[in-house]
Amino acid sequence: MEETVNVAAAVVSPQLQELRTVKHIRLVHYKEFSEILKIKYDNNEEEINKNEEYEFDQVVSFGLSKLMQEETGYELIHNGKKAEKRVMKKLGNIAYQLLQIYSYPKLDASVLSQVLNNALGNIDRRTILDYRKTILYYCNIPEDEIDMCKDSRLGQLNVSGFVKRIPKTYFTNNSL
């Protein structure tokens, strides 16, 4: 059984009026964190104690930003290349439409063509198929199934993998 250490007290910070919570981390991680603080503050126990919460907040904040980059930081690929701004605007409109579906992030695949038509308007069928392929790829549907199956045969989709990759600045409601 792994040991854990309580790293933050449940108090309200008087400076920022932020609520703090108790969270447990593995002892090995806390020891490593403590060693880093000892180096940074030259073993000055008073300075370490004074800055420990701030430093821990920095570590968590840095870790969260890295995690977010892993989740959303990849380039979105459309038609075998990085999606350009014009394409990202259309993908953002599709993502916005998907978010409006009451069952988001799950939806029946047969609804996908309706969402694409609503988001993209009256465009060439091959273009719609390209956007469909991009969405399904980020829904973790194998490529051979994307090309071979009609939407009705794909069943239930989780579109959150696609929506999370679209930067919020591209979310628009440009339904035609």
Question: Are 111 and 137 found together in one domain?
Answer: yes
**Helices assigned H by DSSP within the chain:** 27-40, 45-72, 85-99, 112-120, 125-138, 143-148, 151-154, 160-163
Question: Are 56 and 80 found together in one domain?
Answer: no
Domain-located, residue 135:
yes
Task: Give the integer Cα–Cα distance in Å for 90 and 81.
Answer: 16
Residue 174 pLDDT? 64
| The one-letter amino acid at 85 | K
Question: Are 76 and 66 found together in one domain?
Answer: no
Element (H, E) at 155: none
Question: Are 116 and 57 found together in one domain?
Answer: no
34-38, 43-47, 64-68, 86-90: lowest mean pLDDT where? 64-68
Question: Are 97 and 141 found together in one domain?
Answer: yes
User: Which tokens sit at 80?
Assistant: 């075998």
Domain-located, residue 35:
yes
Question: Are 64 and 100 found together in one domain?
Answer: no
The model's pLDDT over 132-170, given as tens digits with 9 standing for 90+, comes to 999 988 888 887 788 787 877 788 889 998 998 888 888
Domain-located, residue 82:
yes
Domain end, chosen from 53, 71, 89, is at: 71
Question: Are 110 and 135 found together in one domain?
Answer: yes
SS3 58: helix
Question: Are 76 and 145 found together in one domain?
Answer: yes
With b for 16 or more beta-carbon neighbours within 10 A and e for fewer, the 78-102 pattern comes to beeeebeeebbbbbbbbbbbbeeee
SS3 47: helix
Domain end, chosen from 50, 71, 92, is at: 71
Radius of gyration of the chain (CA): 23
Q: Measured in whole angstroms, how far is the alpha carbon of residue 102 from the centre of its chain?
A: 20
The model's pLDDT over 86-101, given as tens digits with 9 standing for 90+, comes to 999 999 999 999 999 9
Question: Are 26 and 57 found together in one domain?
Answer: yes
| The one-letter amino acid at 55 | E
Domain-located, residue 167:
no
Under the banding of pLDDT at 50, 70 and 90, the label for residue 68 is low
Task: Give the integer Cα–Cα distance in Å for 20 and 27.
Answer: 20
Q: Considering its fold, how many domains does the chain have in total?
A: 2
Domain-located, residue 175:
no
Question: Are 115 and 67 found together in one domain?
Answer: no
Domain-located, residue 99:
yes
User: Which tokens sit at 82?
Assistant: 């990085």
Q: Which domain holds residue 48?
A: 14-71
